Amino acid sequence: MFRGILYLIVAVVFISVLRSVIGILTKGFAEAFHTSASGGTPRRPSVPAGGELKKDPVCGTFISTATSLSKQVRGETYYFCSATCRDKFKA
């Protein structure tokens, strides 16, 4: 009886350690391939902190002037979060 309980405890500990190791390896591979472990989408580059924020005139997203796309129209500068929004604005 005691031996059976001991084997059960060893099995539970072994499975817990194995799950932890597999989780660490999975996270490492996900970071190595620049994807998130849950979604599989590429990570976005880091955005510098600070700076002036402007509102994208197409989608309304606030974006940093340092990292946004910009376009000048009749002397006024517009800032866009993506090329898609810039192209929609052109149309």
Task: Give me the pLDDT at residue 72, please.
Answer: 84
Q: Do 35 and 4 share a domain, yes or no?
A: yes
Which segments of the chain have a pLDDT < 50?
36
Task: Give me the pLDDT at residue 49, please.
Answer: 58
Phi and psi at 42, nearest 5°, equal: -60, 145
Q: Do 60 and 84 share a domain, yes or no?
A: yes
Nearest to 90 by CA among 55, 53, 78, 81: 78
- Residue whose pair of structure tokens reads 């606030």 in the numeric block: 62
Residue 38 falls inside a structural domain: yes
Q: What is the average pLDDT score of the chain?
A: 82
Task: Give me the pLDDT at residue 11, please.
Answer: 95
Report the b/e string of 48-79 with b at 16+ CB within 10 A: eeeeeebebebeeeebbeeebbeeeeeeeebb
Phi and psi at 59, nearest 5°, equal: -105, -10
Residue 48 falls inside a structural domain: no
Task: Give me the pLDDT at residue 68, please.
Answer: 82
Q: Do 86 and 64 share a domain, yes or no?
A: yes
The boundaries of the domain holding residue 57 are 53-90
- Residue whose pair of structure tokens reads 């129209």 in the numeric block: 73
Task: Give me the pLDDT at residue 22, please.
Answer: 94
Q: Give the total number of structural domains in the chain.
A: 2
Residue 68 falls inside a structural domain: yes
